[in-house]
Amino acid sequence: MNTQDTSHIRNFSIVAHIDHGKSTISDRILELTHTVEERDMASQLLDSMDIERERGITIKSNAVRVMYEADDGDTYQFNLIDTPGHVDFTYEVSRSLAACEGAVLVVDATQGVEAQTVSNANLAMNANLDIVPAINKIDLPSAHPEEVKTEIEDELAIPADDAVCVSGKTGEGIHDLLEAIVYLVSPPKGDATAPLKALILDSYFDEYRGVVATVRIFDGAIKKGDQLTMMQAGQSFLVDGVGVKRPAEVLLDELTVGEVGFVVTGLKDPGAVRVGDTLTYRDRPCAEALPGYREAKPMVYTGIFPIDNKDYESLRDALEKLRVNDPSLVWSPETSVALGFGFRVGFLGLLHMEVVKERLEREFDLDLIATSPSVDYHVYKTDGEMICVRSPQDLPDVTRIDHIEEPYLKAKIIVPPAYTGAVMQLAIEHRAMMTDMIHLSEKSVEMRFDIPLAELILDFFDQLKSRTKGYASLDYEFADYRASELVKLDILLSGDEVDALSFIVHKDKAYPLARGLCDKLKEIIPRQQFEVPIQGAIGNKIIARSTVKAVRKDVLAKCYGGDISRKRKLLEKQKEGKKRMKAVGSVEVPQEAFLAILKVDE
Amino acid sequence: MSVSALYLHIPFCHAKCAYCDFDSCGLTGAALDGAIASYLPQLFERIDAFGRTGALDHIETVYVGGGTPSVLGRSLVDVVARVRTWCDPVEMTCEVNPESFDMPLAEGLARAGVTRISCGVQSLHDDELAEIGRLHTRATALEALRCARAAGFDVSCDLMCGLPGQTYESWLETLQGIIAEEPDHVSVYPLTLEAGTPLAQRAVRDGSLMPDEDLQADCMEAAERRLGRAGYARYEVASYARPGHACMHNQAYWTGRSYLGIGRSAAGMLSRSEATRYAALLPGLSEQLDASWDAARVRFVQLDDAAEHVAYELLTAREAAAEDLMLGMRRSCGVHASDIAHAAHVIGEDAVDEVARIACRRGLARWCDARLVPTEQGWLLGNELYGLMWDLADPA
């Protein structure tokens, strides 16, 4: 019997609160292990999407193999999985952890333990991972690693004596971190000769090779030509190739037990491969599938419409392709009088929405309109039936509604004591109720709130950051549904209701919000040939109004010495600008108007 | 058809205005003399080169623009004389700025055969002039107009509305002051902030410098009323003239007639057959024409002093027809039904009819004596109207 030696494999994720420096540490590891030579280093190598690099955030997990020659003289295979830090993508983190034996928990030496440090540490502990604490950014003058060690022990109950002090920026301590991984993270277990059992932790669609799946092998091995079956989906395929990312793709003869790598499936249907499914041999299946992933539940829904209705089919195809590596994405068709045919798409949060919209526009070259985000309301009708309403348009007539329930979250905010007052104030403004307040240490307090999800998805997080000078950190999870007095706020342009601008809001907030929205729309909607009145209404009652004045002058009178080409180019530029607008009735409305709700300052 | 209009560009000024993004260098003294000494021989050479091919034989109008041609001083007379060796235009305009225009220059130009002076007055308020970086004052402007008049020229002056610090009242005063001088022709341009100009950069920091479009609209309407009462008829979106004094040269631009542009940054337009005839003087054009069998019209801009590099834009018959409609809508006489029928022949009857209908429905144009003419809205919202017409160029 061939027992593959897995003692020199270490599979680990790097987890942290957002901005604590995961991706920079990953970069240094790639550099120190000569996976990537210094001269080829692009900053944040593992963030391969343009959006990730531009925004400096990690959205997708990414698995890379590095070979590390340790101080004991042996060479170790590290499979490093970079994970997202933003709370919207907690789901991605738990997916990655299922493929690992260990986690490097990164804590910023200047910020200390923050809300998502706590949740990510809990995720790692619940997954029974070996945790390697690392204190990052020790090169900064304001670093206080000793205090952070105490915080890690007190607040996370993780022994921090062995915590490694590192600087992702200078590379200091990275060698120690790699040594700690060798000693603290357990090697994977498993049997190379047993029937294949491999977890699909990610996948993406490639025009030429079909679906490519990232897998972690728990038992068995995969090589080109194997006939495999996805246990949940029931579909089989012939393996077209296997390999690893270093971080460029390298093809291998075989992926074996304990390893992480990719499998080229050749499947041309983007929906065929489900993340969380178990791969096994078609002819010699394993006894039972891996537990897989709990399904990610969308929190926020928005309408996504192509500006040009001809792009409807392309939008659907694009959503299907994105879903391959973002299984949390769900959608259903939606029709709007103002915007035509589109989809109501569910997202994990607003950042997720922005990222998906941006990817759709860039990677699939679509011009899209996103409408006001909504949550999933439970509407109890007078006839006793309960319906889920995710779009303001679907709200039944007031006379047929008995009551409405909205989703509540349990939110956890960690903040220095000096800012508890500011957080309380913000909470009150957002209909939140404080349920608990725990003094974690002299310099941090954990405040717990019950807060309507609808309040949190608007500007809560930005407000929290600005009112606490950036000190507060936030984490949340779904709690339950509670009855609320909600109304539908409609917006009328030139007297016509624009369904895509409607919004469900608590009745106490309807007036200020309507005023704010009318004012904001007045700023966003350009002046047109005719005056455009903007009105906010609940039912038939107008509660706010503003007016976009008619444009008086729009002419290039200058002669430019007969340079007519130049005049024409200016006209074409103006036309280009108009293409990004949607004609709603006779009014040209820019894309961003439909998300004006996010920009209303109260 | 032969080429009947010629434009010459003089890319120098004494100082560049804060709003200007034309090709012009602000120079004085020896630096200016040196630049002129290098530029003019190349300009002359190109005038002569076109002259020798016969391209200038039928020139009826010449326009020397800039920049500020009057910074050439006496050399401007030489430029005029050089052109005159090849042709005998009925209208020959020189652009001048008040600070560089005096009686001796006026008389010299008159003797050389210039018939018309276009003077960049812009405003009669010294503070408004200083704000946009003009070097003259109300007094020098009025003096320049009188010189031009005394030398026997047709006199035109350019005015601008929407200037920083300008009010409706100060605009009316400028208009009044100009009308009192009885020029033959007045052009009224609303100020546009062009990207990259000093004024545009200042406006980023100080929003009050942004031209107020409502005020500009009021000013344009007031100009039409006041100038109209004083006997100046609007014949183009920005141009007003006493009877018989419309600028023939500028009308060539709006009516699809061919014109040559000589000098750095000068623009020209030729039909395909004319362009082929003069291709030896238009570097790189033959190749482009060979590659575009459907090009019917060529627009070009000379990119350097020596005319070694020229940028071309080739237009199909359809694009040329759409362009003619677009330009026609700048004129008070609009486009005659027969010209619209001609355009419809090239573009397609349904598309042209539809656009004319939309323009009328949106109140931008109307039918009047078998001509489609711009309305009051059509003047102020010209870009809407021109955009509709130019969209006809796109077959999709």
Q: Model confidence over B324-359: pLDDT tens digits?
A: 999 999 999 999 999 999 999 999 999 999 999 999
Residues B349 and B211 grouped into a single domain:
no
Nearest residue on chain A to B312, alpha-carbon basis:
A565
Is the pLDDT at B243 greater than 80? The verdict is yes
Instruction: Work out the minimum CA distance from A584 to partner chain B, whole angstroms.
Output: 16
pLDDT band for position A50 (cuts 50, 70, 90): low
**Residue B337's CATH number:** 1.10.10
What is d(CA A445, CA A115) in angstroms, rounded to the nearest whole number? 11
B312 touches chain A (CB under 8 A): no
Is the pLDDT at A280 greater than 80? The verdict is yes
For strands B12-13 and B25-26, give the pairing: parallel
State mean pLDDT over A545-554: 92
Residue B131 in domain: yes
| Contact yes or no for B267 and A554 at CB 8 A | no
Residue with tokens 């008040």: B98
What is d(CA B389, CA B392) in angstroms, rounded to the nearest whole number? 6
pLDDT of residue A87: 62
Cβ–Cβ < 8 Å for A503, A486 = no
What is d(CA A343, CA A312) in angstroms, rounded to the nearest whole number? 9
DSSP string, A39-77: GGPPSSTT--SHHHHHHT---S-EEEEEEEE-TTS-EEE
CB contacts under 8 A, B 129-168 vs A, are none
Domain count, chain B: 2
| Contact yes or no for B65 and A529 at CB 8 A | no
pLDDT of residue A1: 35
State mean pLDDT over A141-167: 88
What is d(CA B111, CA B152) in angstroms, rounded to the nearest whole number? 10
Which tokens is A455 given? 């309040």
Is the pLDDT at A9 greater than 80? The verdict is yes
Q: Model confidence over A172-220: pLDDT tens digits?
A: 999 999 999 999 999 999 898 899 999 988 888 888 888 899 999 999 9
| Contact yes or no for A564 and B267 at CB 8 A | yes
A384 touches chain B (CB under 8 A): no
pLDDT of residue A2: 41
Residues B145 and B35 grouped into a single domain:
yes
CB contacts under 8 A, B 329-388 vs A, are 362-363, 377, 379-384, 386-387
pLDDT band for position A276 (cuts 50, 70, 90): confident
As a whole number of Å, the end-to-end CA separation of chain A is 70
A531 touches chain B (CB under 8 A): no
pLDDT of residue A156: 84
What is d(CA A128, CA B223) in angstroms, rounded to the nearest whole number? 82
Which tokens is B346 given? 């090239």
pLDDT of residue A55: 56
Residue B47 in domain: yes
Share of chain B above pLDDT 90, in %: 91
Instruction: Work out the minimum CA distance from A312 to partner chain B, whole angstroms.
Output: 19
pLDDT of residue A210: 87
Residue B273 in domain: no
Instruction: Work out the minimum CA distance from B189 to partner chain A, whole angstroms.
Output: 6
Share of chain A above pLDDT 70, in %: 93
Which tokens is A380 given? 């109890």
- Looking at every residue in chain B, the average pLDDT score rounds to 95
Residue B276 in domain: no
Is the pLDDT at A83 greater than 90? The verdict is no
Is the pLDDT at A432 greater than 50? The verdict is yes
pLDDT of residue A187: 94
Which tokens is A17 given? 């609160």
A157 touches chain B (CB under 8 A): no
What is d(CA B291, CA B298) in angstroms, rounded to the nearest whole number? 13
Bridge partners of A206? Answer: A210
| Contact yes or no for B22 and A574 at CB 8 A | no
What is d(CA A517, CA A503) in angstroms, rounded to the nearest whole number? 10
CA distances from A86 to A518, B17, B227 (A): 32, 51, 65
Q: Which of B137-146, B197-206, B302-311 has the lowest mean pLDDT?
A: B197-206
Residues of A in contact with B259 (CB under 8 A): 562
CB contacts under 8 A, B 189-218 vs A, are 189-190, 192, 213-214, 216-218
Which candidate from B237, B266, B390 shows the least CB-CB separation from A555?
B237
DSSP string, A456-479: IIIIIHHHHHHHTTT--EEEEEEE
Instruction: Work out the minimum CA distance from B180 to partner chain A, whole angstroms.
Output: 24
Residues B246 and B360 grouped into a single domain:
no
| Contact yes or no for B261 and A571 at CB 8 A | no
Instruction: Work out the minimum CA distance from B311 to partner chain A, whole angstroms.
Output: 11
pTM attached to this predicted model? 0.73
Residues of B in contact with A558 (CB under 8 A): 189, 192, 238
pLDDT of residue A103: 93
A563 touches chain B (CB under 8 A): yes
For strands B91-96 and B61-66, give the pairing: parallel
- Which of these, A209, A187, A206, A188, lies nearest to A197 by C-alpha position? A188
Q: Tell me the backbone φ, ψ of residue B314, rounded to 5 degrees.
A: -100, 130
Is the pLDDT at A580 greater than 90? The verdict is no
No. of helices (H) and no. of strands (E), chain A:
13, 33
A602 touches chain B (CB under 8 A): no
Instruction: Work out the minimum CA distance from A560 to partner chain B, whole angstroms.
Output: 8
As a whole number of Å, the end-to-end CA separation of chain B is 32
Is the pLDDT at B88 greater than 50? The verdict is yes
pLDDT of residue A595: 85
pLDDT of residue A560: 75
| Contact yes or no for A554 and B213 at CB 8 A | yes
Residues B341 and B230 grouped into a single domain:
no
Q: Model confidence over B165-194: pLDDT tens digits?
A: 999 999 999 999 999 999 999 999 999 988
Which tokens is A546 given? 């503003």
pLDDT of residue A597: 82
| Contact yes or no for B381 and A555 at CB 8 A | yes
Is the pLDDT at B196 greater than 60? The verdict is yes
Residue B324 in domain: yes
**Residue B81's CATH number:** 3.20.20.70
Which candidate from B214, B238, B267 shows the least CB-CB separation from A557?
B238
What is d(CA A256, CA A265) in angstroms, rounded to the nearest whole number? 17
Structural domain for B205, as ranges: 5-251
Which candidate from B192, B259, B265 shows the least CB-CB separation from A556?
B192
Residues B247 and B328 grouped into a single domain:
no
CA distances from A422 to A428, A453, A469, A508, A565 (A): 10, 20, 10, 21, 58
pLDDT of residue A38: 56
Q: Model confidence over B253-303: pLDDT tens digits?
A: 999 999 999 999 999 999 999 999 999 999 999 999 999 999 999 999 999
Mutate to test the interface with B, among A552, A567, A578, A587 (most CBs of B within 10 A): A552
Instruction: Work out the minimum CA distance from B106 to partner chain A, whole angstroms.
Output: 22
Residues B238 and B342 grouped into a single domain:
no
What is d(CA A476, CA A411) in angstroms, rounded to the nearest whole number? 4
pLDDT of residue A61: 57
A540 touches chain B (CB under 8 A): no
| Contact yes or no for B381 and A575 at CB 8 A | no
Q: What is the 8-class DSSP label of residue A521?
A: H
Is the pLDDT at A29 greater than 90? The verdict is no
Q: Model confidence over A412-424: pLDDT tens digits?
A: 898 889 999 999 9
pLDDT of residue B312: 96
Is the pLDDT at A47 greater than 60? The verdict is no
Residues B96 and B216 grouped into a single domain:
yes
Residue B268 in domain: no
Residues B212 and B357 grouped into a single domain:
no
User: Which of B251, B282, B311 is the last residue in one of the domains?
Assistant: B251
Q: Cite the DSSP H helix spans in A420-479.
A: 420-429, 453-455, 461-467
Cβ–Cβ < 8 Å for B285, B302 = no
3-state SS class at B330:
coil
Is the pLDDT at A556 greater than 90? The verdict is no
pLDDT band for position A330 (cuts 50, 70, 90): confident
Residue B166 in domain: yes
- Looking at every residue in chain A, the average pLDDT score rounds to 87
Q: Which of A372-381, A468-477, B101-110, B330-339 has the lowest mean pLDDT?
A: A468-477
Which candidate from B252, B299, B391 shows the least CB-CB separation from A565?
B299
A552 touches chain B (CB under 8 A): yes
User: Which of B221, B251, B281 is the last residue in one of the domains?
Assistant: B251
Residues B101 and B214 grouped into a single domain:
yes
State mean pLDDT over A343-359: 87
| Contact yes or no for B299 and A553 at CB 8 A | no
Q: What is the ipTM of this complex?
A: 0.87
Q: Tell me the backbone φ, ψ of residue A214, rounded to 5 degrees.
A: -90, 130
pLDDT of residue A270: 73
B123 touches chain A (CB under 8 A): no
Residues of A in contact with B377 (CB under 8 A): 529
State mean pLDDT over A321-331: 81
State mean pLDDT over A359-383: 91
What is d(CA A336, CA A339) in angstroms, rounded to the nearest whole number? 5
Residues B333 and B233 grouped into a single domain:
no
A576 touches chain B (CB under 8 A): no
Is the pLDDT at B227 greater than 70? The verdict is yes
Cβ–Cβ < 8 Å for A156, A113 = yes
Residues B21 and B158 grouped into a single domain:
yes
Which tokens is B217 given? 């609209």
User: Which of B230, B251, B272 is the last residue in one of the domains?
Assistant: B251
Is the pLDDT at A112 greater than 60? The verdict is yes
Residue B175 in domain: yes
Residues B171 and B74 grouped into a single domain:
yes
CB contacts under 8 A, B 218-277 vs A, are 218, 220, 237-238, 250, 252-253, 259, 261, 265-269
